[in-house]
């Protein structure tokens, strides 16, 4: 079983819609969770981090964490064509003693006008 799983997509949404990206993880002791955006040919860019159960909002982005279900998601409201990218879920699977990020394979998001 992969440690961090994402639906590879592609996920296609119309401009202005809500894009919902999902991620599950297997290590119950994971403490911190991150979403990265990666444009084609570029490096990953950190867009959200979440450490506690519940929702965290930052502009058009909302991260949701449910540790009991081992599930983290990213909602993008009012999606724009510039949001078209690969979104990587990353989980700190090293507990609190040291940080080791494990990445999912990424979900390709396409926002069409």
Give the shortest CB-112-to-other proteins separation in angstroms: 24
Distance CA 99, CA 102 (A): 10
Give the shortest CB-99-to-other proteins separation in angstroms: 3
Determine contact, residues 51/32, Cβ cutoff 8 Å: yes
Nearer to other proteins by C-beta: 24 or 104?
Answer: 104
Nearer to other proteins by C-beta: 97 or 113?
Answer: 97
Within 8 A by CB and 6+ apart from 7, the residues are 21, 22, 107
Give the shortest CB-97-to-other proteins separation in angstroms: 7
């Amino acid at each position: 079983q992969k440690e961090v799983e994402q639906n590879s997509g592609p996920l296609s949404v119309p401009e202005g819609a809500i894009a919902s990206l999902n991620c599950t993880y297997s290590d119950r002791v994971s403490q911190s969770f991150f979403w990265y955006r990666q444009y084609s040919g570029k490096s990953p860019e950190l867009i959200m981090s979440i450490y506690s159960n519940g929702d965290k909002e930052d502009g058009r982005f909302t991260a949701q964490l449910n540790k009991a279900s081992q599930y983290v998601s990213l909602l993008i409201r009012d999606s724009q064509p510039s949001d078209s990218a690969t979104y990587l879920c990353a989980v700190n699977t090293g507990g609190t003693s040291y940080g080791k990020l494990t990445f999912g394979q990424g979900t390709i998001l396409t926002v069409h006008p």
